[in-house]
């Protein structure tokens, strides 16, 4: 496992600083160590107080880690270095041990508050930029370092070239502040190491009162982690861009902050595994449910389940090829993601109204099934296929239509049915939070009603 050190300040609110760095290291699979340079008292309203750690103690922290051959450091990143004296000590230690590092030229906290003394800027430019592997300013920071007012992408390129000439270090000017790009719905990072490259993602628009907290720290920490693994700068930057974008888009709302969610990727992978196994177990339950084959419609049935915050059909696991009656009982294909547009669309449409209802199955229609659902206490709604507009897909429109027709305390229906149309088989769809829960509902219906 690669070992990465963060040298920076503490954020007692937990969203930025070394707290964000350590969470980033953990999420990306590197071992994180830290040298604490300052303690800040800050929250969503700003920085109320800050106290620099004695520079001698910072020096000893770095020496302590580097003198332990069982720990050591493969890569580092710097964050809050408040004074010239602090920058001098950190630069000396990084040079002494020849530690490659990412320089995050932190000047202000995201929630407000100065984190770099005015007279320390020249020290940072003179001592740290020349020895770092890459410097990662945002637009305001790049403007201050370069002395160029950055209003558009061309200004940003000019600033990147000037910063690069100071040292030969690579420069990444982080996107998110240029009005030109924001207007286009993009957040574009500009890389320059002698050649330009741009990496764009969708700009995440927040409510006016919300502030993203910890994104810059997480970006530089993630870049150090990826570079420590041997990735080249461009590949590392692409990976980091996605990591931070996903962490912001799935961020936690804390007061007026959006705190980046470093574990988003891990949780998503774990959820995908859970969903896959849950659908497999639901299929197994259906196969051993006596008389279930009598509930399979002519077009076959399918059961699916979406991951949390599913965005597309690729986030929904279902049976490949549907479930059909067979001589041996019931035949079902493999369970995988992105194999059933039909069931995926009905689930995604339902999740727009109720994010917890992540699973659904389709079974044949009969009035007896609907009555059995009512007896079991399920909420029921319907839509009329003959009213379906020509420019829509049935599942998207039908589920939304049925939800719109349903008005029991604003809750989503458990069951949606339609009576079919010319060339369209009538159908019942049963929804639940998980595929196993849906399979249990079907089992209860079957046990209460055997079709003739």
pLDDT (0 to 100) of residue 185: 79
Quote the longest CA-to-CA distance of the chain: 87
Q: Is residue 115 a contact partner of residue 50, using CB atoms and an 8 Å limit? A: yes
Q: Is residue 175 a contact partner of residue 188, using CB atoms and an 8 Å limit? A: yes
At 190-216, the pLDDT tens digits run 999 999 999 998 888 776 667 788 899
Name the burial class of residue 205, with classes exposed (0-12), middle (13-18) and buried (19+) by CB atoms within 10 angstroms of its CB: exposed
With bands split at pLDDT 50, 70 and 90, how would you rate the model's confidence at 234? very high
Give the span between the Cα atoms of 444 and 450, in whole angstroms.
11
Structure tokens at 379: 């909420």
Give the span between the Cα atoms of 379 and 412, in whole angstroms.
8
At 397-440, the pLDDT tens digits run 989 989 887 766 678 899 999 998 888 899 999 999 999 999 99
At 298-335, the pLDDT tens digits run 999 999 999 998 989 999 999 999 999 988 788 999 99
What are the C-alpha distances in Å from 433 to residues 91, 224, 307, 438, 440? 54, 39, 11, 8, 11
Query: Which letter does DSSP use for residue 71 in this model?
Result: T
Domains of the chain: 3-261 (3.40.1190.20), 268-448 (3.40.225.10)
* Sheet with strand 252-254: strands edge to edge: 211-213, 257-259, 252-254
With bands split at pLDDT 50, 70 and 90, how would you rate the model's confidence at 145? very high
Give the span between the Cα atoms of 180 and 161, in whole angstroms.
20
pLDDT (0 to 100) of residue 268: 87
Section 208-232 average pLDDT: 91
* Contacting residues for 311 by C-beta, under 8 A, at least 6 apart: none
Is the confidence at residue 126, as pLDDT, over 60? yes
Q: Are strands 252-254 and 257-259 parallel, antiparallel or unpaired?
A: antiparallel
Section 366-377 average pLDDT: 94
Mean of the per-residue pLDDT values for the chain?
91
Of residues 267 and 75, the one with the higher pLDDT is: 75
Percent of the chain as helix, strand, coil, to the nearest 5: 40, 25, 35
With bands split at pLDDT 50, 70 and 90, how would you rate the model's confidence at 231? very high
Helix (H) or strand (E) holding 63: helix 55-67
pLDDT (0 to 100) of residue 183: 65
pLDDT (0 to 100) of residue 149: 93
pLDDT (0 to 100) of residue 264: 83
What are the C-alpha distances in Å from 354 to residues 256, 397, 412? 25, 16, 7
Of residues 185 and 198, the one with the higher pLDDT is: 198
Q: Is residue 420 a contact partner of residue 426, using CB atoms and an 8 Å limit? A: yes
Is the confidence at residue 442, as pLDDT, over 90? yes
User: Phi and psi dihedrals of 344, rounded to 5?
Assistant: -65, -45
Section 244-256 average pLDDT: 84
Conformation bin of residue 309: beta by default, left when phi > 0, alpha when psi is -120 to 50:
left
pLDDT (0 to 100) of residue 452: 43
pLDDT (0 to 100) of residue 382: 93
Give the span between the Cα atoms of 30 and 225, in whole angstroms.
6
pLDDT (0 to 100) of residue 396: 85
């Amino acid at each position: 496992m690669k070992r990465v050190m963060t040298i920076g300040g503490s954020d007692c609110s937990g969203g930025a600083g070394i707290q964000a760095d350590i969470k980033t290291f953990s999420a990306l699979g590197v071992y994180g160590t830290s040298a604490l340079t300052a303690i800040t008292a800050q929250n969503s309203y700003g920085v109320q107080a800050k106290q620099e750690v004695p520079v001698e103690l910072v020096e000893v922290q770095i020496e302590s880690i580097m003198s332990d051959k069982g720990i050591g450091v493969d890569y580092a990143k710097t964050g809050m270095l408040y004074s010239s004296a602090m920058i001098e000590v950190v630069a000396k230690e990084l040079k002494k041990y020849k530690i490659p590092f990412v320089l995050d030229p932190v000047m202000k906290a995201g929630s407000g508050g100065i984190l770099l003394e005015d007279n320390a800027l020249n020290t940072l430019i003179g001592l740290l930029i020349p020895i770092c592997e890459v410097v990662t300013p945002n637009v305001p920071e790049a403007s201050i370092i370069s002395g160029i007012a950055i209003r558009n992408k061309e200004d940003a390129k000019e600033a990147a070239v000037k910063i690069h000439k100071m040292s030969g270090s690579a420069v990444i000017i982080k996107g998110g502040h240029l009005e030109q790009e924001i207007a286009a719905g993009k957040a574009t990072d500009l890389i320059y190491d002698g050649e330009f490259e741009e990496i764009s993602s969708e700009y995440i628009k927040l409510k006016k009162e919300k502030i993203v907290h910890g994104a810059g720290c997480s970006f530089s920490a993630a870049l150090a982690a990826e570079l420590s693994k041997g990735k080249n700068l461009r590949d590392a930057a692409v990976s980091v861009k996605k990591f931070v974008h996903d962490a912001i888009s799935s961020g936690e709302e804390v007061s007026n902050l959006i705190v980046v969610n470093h574990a988003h990727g891990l949780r998503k992978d774990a959820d995908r595994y859970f969903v896959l196994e849950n659908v497999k177990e639901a299929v197994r339950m259906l196969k051993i449910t006596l008389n279930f084959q009598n509930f399979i419609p002519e077009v076959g049935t399918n059961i699916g389940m979406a991951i949390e915050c599913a965005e597309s059909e690729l986030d929904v696991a279902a049976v490949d090829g549907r479930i059909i009656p067979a001589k041996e009982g019931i035949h079902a294909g493999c369970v995988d993601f992105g194999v059933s547009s039909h069931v995926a669309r009905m689930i995604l449409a339902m999740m727009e109204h109720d994010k917890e209802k992540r699973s659904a199955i389709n079974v044949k229609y009969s009035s007896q099934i609907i009555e059995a659902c009512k007896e079991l206490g399920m909420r029921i709604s319907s839509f009329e296929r003959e009213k379906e507009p020509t420019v829509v897909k049935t599942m998207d429109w039908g589920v939304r239509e049925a939800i719109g027709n349903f008005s029991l305390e604003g809750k989503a229906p458990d069951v949606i049915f339609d009576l079919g149309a010319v060339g369209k088989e009538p159908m019942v769809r049963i929804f639940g939070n998980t595929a196993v829960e849906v399979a249990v509902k079907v089992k209860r219906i079957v046990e209460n009603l055997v079709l003739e």
